[in-house]
Amino acid sequence: MEKHVVVIYPHPDDESFGAAGTIAKFREEGVPVTYLCGTLGEMGRNMGSPTFANRETLPEIRKKELINACQKLDIKLEMLGYRDKTLEFEDRTELAKNLKLYLDKIKPSLVITHYPEYAVHPDHNALGAAAIEAVEMMPTEDRPTVWAQAISNDFPAVLGKPDITNDITANFDKKFEAILAHQSQAMGVLGQHREKEAKNDLKEIAKQRLGFEQFYIWKY
């Protein structure tokens, strides 16, 4: 059993779309989970559907949504306070050193992050690389296992079959609840602008697309 799982992603909602089912499984087993969230996703283009946010209100709104999603997932949250869409310009080693401070304190047995170069968004790639570097800075015997999540369309062709495939359809309700906590983002990301009557269909469609969570075990 894992001792403590640390999830490292840059945006509020990465945890819900990417790993909420896996997180829910760990929480069911009583494993503590901490989310290190890089930014507030304040540069996002989704403003709710129908629109209820604007450029000025988005940071506060996304912060509340993030806290809400983490409450639903019953995980601890640490907001790292970086600026959205700038992580690729941060000094990689400084970023890694900062992440390492958290890892040294929490001492997780497992770290979940994005697979650098295969995670589509520059923030995902940058923070994933920094997380991997942070673990690499630790003495070999203290290093947690790292699960790296690829998102790009071509990743299976290039990287091969992921080491871990979690079928999370059994606790998809929990994942969907966490996704919907990100009210300003959920509908935009799910590609759906109809409300209420479509909710059930929407959930079924999402289940097909997001019912499996896959990771590669990082090899140092």
Q: Which residues bind Zn ion (CB under 5 A)?
A: 11, 14
Give the strand pairing for 76-79 and 33-37.
parallel
To the nearest whole angstrom, how small is the minimum distance from the Cβ of residue 86 to Zn ion? 13
Three-state DSSP state, 89: helix
| Shortest distance (Å) from residue 37 CB to Zn ion | 10
Residue nearest to Zn ion (CB): 11
Specify the 3-state DSSP secondary structure of 66. helix
> CA-CA distance, 89 to 79, in Å (whole number)?
19
Residue bearing tokens 């790993």: 19
**Residue 11 or 100: which CB sits closer to Zn ion?**
11
Q: Cβ 42 to Zn ion, closest distance in Å?
A: 12
Nearer to Zn ion, 14 or 213 (CB): 14
**Closer by beta carbon to Zn ion, 68 or else 109:** 68
CB of 66 to Zn ion, least distance (A): 12
HSE of 92, CA atoms in CB hemisphere, 13 A: 14
Nearer to Zn ion, 11 or 182 (CB): 11
Tokens standing for residue 169: 């359809």
The nearest distance, CB 112 to Zn ion, in angstroms, is 14
Nearer to Zn ion, 87 or 106 (CB): 87
CA distances from 131 to 12, 73, 75, 111 (A): 17, 22, 19, 8
